[in-house]
Amino acid sequence: MPEISRFFGIIIRMFAEAGSPHHVPHFHAWYQGAKVVYGIDPVVKIEGGFPRRQERLIEAWAELHQDELKRDWELLRAGENPIPVAPLQ
């Protein structure tokens, strides 16, 4: 699963099977061994949980980079590599 960003100990990855349905557009986030799945449009937690601070960081990052996340989703669905997304600073 390609890594597309990393910030404050949070790793963001995205996976889509080229040419096949794969749920709603989403990304996976890892933090200290836990995993959360977020939808891209709208940015909403689908599964899992982190401490509230990390969830707010991920949600803010995803809102800022929503267009890039949509682009990466489409690239992956087309069988191409995603483009890294800038981390929160």
- Read off the pLDDT of each residue in 55-78 and give the average, rounded to a whole number: 96
Percent above pLDDT 90 for the chain? 82
Angstrom distances, CA of residue 6 to CA of 21, 22, 31, 52, 88? 27, 23, 10, 18, 8
- Read off the pLDDT of each residue in 57-70 and give the average, rounded to a whole number: 98
Residues 61/7, Cβ–Cβ less than 8 Å: yes
Q: Is the pLDDT of residue 19 over 70?
A: no
pTM: predicted TM-score of the whole model, two decimal places:
0.90
Q: Beta strand 34-39 with 44-48: parallel, antiparallel or unpaired? A: antiparallel
Percent above pLDDT 70 for the chain? 93
